[in-house]
Structure 1
Amino acid sequence: MRINYHIHTVFSDGSSSIRDYCEIAIQKGFEEIAFTDHLTVFPDGSADPHSLNTISIEDYVKEIKSISLEYEGRLIIRLGVEVDYIPGSENIIEKILEGYDFDLVIGSVHFIDNVCIDSLKHRNLVENMIRENGFDSLYSKYLKLVSKAVETGFFNIIGHIDIVRIWGFNPADGLKDEQKVLEFIKEKG
């Protein structure tokens, strides 16, 4: 069975509509997909401009539910969201998630010290962080945030645990700490 559980639409940072992605999925032989647009909410309650927010999430959910009925029998469509874990926003996230019946909730870490570590726009800031403290320091912070995300219990999937290495940097000790976090994720279920 061909599936894709990590699709972003124009509701966040994707380039196509929900309907367009459904058509592409069918053309490529997928039997099941999940839309998982970004939900990036900061501790002050504001949302990233390339993210769902408390208003657009309502339209997002309605559109996916409506389109999933249209494609019934041709494509299984799951309702999901990719939530950025940002310390201090837990209560806001919990409240938002309680308001919807998501099939899956991906927890991801994209921000460290208010810097989006996988954004081309922030690459210089990431490289400055590495120059000042070394990659191992950034890597350690990242894995601690991933572990905290797991501890919240909000997520049934943890997204791209390796994204901290997007710019080609690797920890001096190899990936043993990453493996420990993967074991922790497995332990927590």
Structure 2
Amino acid sequence: MKFDLHTHHERCGHAIGTIRDYVEAGIQNGLSVIGISDHSPYFASAVDREQPGIAMAKSEFSLYIAEVLRLKEEYSGKIDVLLGVESDFFPEHIQLYKQMYDQYPFDYIIGSVHLSGGVSIFNKNRFKGLTDIQLVEQKEIYYDLIEQSARSGVFQILGHIDAMRAYFTPFSAVPTESVDRTLKIIGEQDIAIEINTSGKTKACGGWYPVDAVLERALHYGVRVTFGSDAHVPERVGDEWDDVSKRLKEIGFKDWVYFKQKQRQIVAL
């Protein structure tokens, strides 16, 4: 069976199409399960919509959830529509975010680090002029945040855990033990990481994380799941077969999705 847990829609301000468009694309692409996981609002902000081109407004959040739940009912028997959200991780606000999420019947929550050291991980200029020592420091700050997100107890899935390489391909080769340390913690916390195929839309190409990280994830017993991170309906389920094949080659026997926050195991 095919599933895709990471999809967006027009509410976030940088995706195209309605939630229904993504559900229909899931059916057309042979998915049995589709998760809707748009970007969380900035709950700690004093304004309703802190970043109009990045995330939905706080006032849209309950409407988003209600729409996903309506479509879950409407498409029952055709495709299993799951309620998710891609949550930003801000350590100083994690309890506020948890309080917001606890009010709703989420099937899963994806925790993603998008800001590291106060700068977007997708900022194309963040690595310019850095020394080798500074590159190591930046990588360790990033993975420390991911480790904290794993320990928070809020998330079932961690999103795109090496996406800082999106516009800086050498990021993968920056030497530090922080990646192994973080994967060990993720394994101990018994949560999943996603194989996210949206890396193909960035300068780095490929998907997140790179094979070397997946090999270490297997070593530490980390569960894996699939997410296209589609921001257009046409990308729903993108590269599913390629990812499945590669995971088998690495040595994984299965992968997972989450329903009512309970892990569902799917053989590869």
Tell me whether the two structures share a fold, i.e. TM-score over 0.5.
yes
Report how far residue 179 of structure 1 moved.
2.6
CA distances 1:136-173 after superposition (whole Å, capped 9, x unpaired) = 11110000000111111100111111112222122432
Report how far residue 82 of structure 1 moved.
0.7
Whole-angstrom distance in 1 between the partners of 2:40 and 2:77:
29
Whole-angstrom distance in 1 between the partners of 2:69 and 2:186:
30
Whole-angstrom distance in 2 between the partners of 1:129 and 1:77:
45
User: SS of 2:92's equivalent?
Assistant: coil
Q: Is the 8 A contact 1:146 1:161 kept in 2?
A: yes
CA distances 1:79-108 after superposition (whole Å, capped 9, x unpaired) = 000111113111221221111110000011
C-alpha RMSD of the superposition: 2.0
Which residue of structure 2 aligns with residue 108 of structure 1? 112
Report how far residue 45 of structure 1 moved.
4.9
CA distances 1:114-141 after superposition (whole Å, capped 9, x unpaired) = 21112xxx322x1247469632111100
Within a 5 Å distance, the mapping from 1:84-103 to structure 2 comes to: 84-103=88-107
Report how far residue 44 of structure 1 moved.
4.2
Is 1:141–2:118 an aligned residue pair? no
Within a 5 Å distance, the mapping from 1:30-69 to structure 2 comes to: 30-41=31-42, 43-45=44-46, 47-49=50-52, 50-69=54-73
Which residue of structure 2 aligns with residue 169 of structure 1? 170
Closer/same/farther in 2, CA of residues 129 and 115 from structure 1, 3 Å limit: farther
Q: Is the 8 A contact 1:65 1:79 kept in 2?
A: yes
Which residue of structure 2 aligns with residue 22 of structure 1? 23
Q: Is the 8 A contact 2:41 2:58 kept in 1?
A: no
Which residue of structure 2 aligns with residue 72 of structure 1? 76
Whole-angstrom distance in 1 between the partners of 2:3 and 2:64:
21
Whole-angstrom distance in 1 between the partners of 2:60 and 2:128:
34
Amino acid at match of 1:95: Q
Whole-angstrom distance in 2 between the partners of 1:130 and 1:32:
43
Whole-angstrom distance in 2 between the partners of 1:54 and 1:98:
15
Gaps of 5+ in 2: 191-268
Count of residues in correspondence between the two structures: 184
Report how far residue 48 of structure 1 moved.
3.1
Gaps of 5+ in 1: none
Amino acid at match of 2:140: S
Which residue of structure 1 aligns with residue 11 of structure 2? 11
Q: Is the 8 A contact 1:43 1:86 kept in 2?
A: no
Whole-angstrom distance in 1 between the partners of 2:113 and 2:41:
10
Amino acid at match of 1:48: Q
Asked which structure has the greater RCO (Cα within 8 Å, sep 6+), the reply is: 2
Amino acid at match of 2:180: Q
Q: Is the 8 A contact 1:3 1:31 kept in 2?
A: yes
Percent identity, aligned pairs only, is: 28
Whole-angstrom distance in 2 between the partners of 1:98 and 1:86:
17
Closer/same/farther in 2, CA of residues 43 and 112 from structure 1, 3 Å limit: farther
Amino acid at match of 2:156: N
Q: Is the 8 A contact 2:34 2:82 kept in 1?
A: yes
Closer/same/farther in 2, CA of residues 130 and 106 from structure 1, 3 Å limit: farther
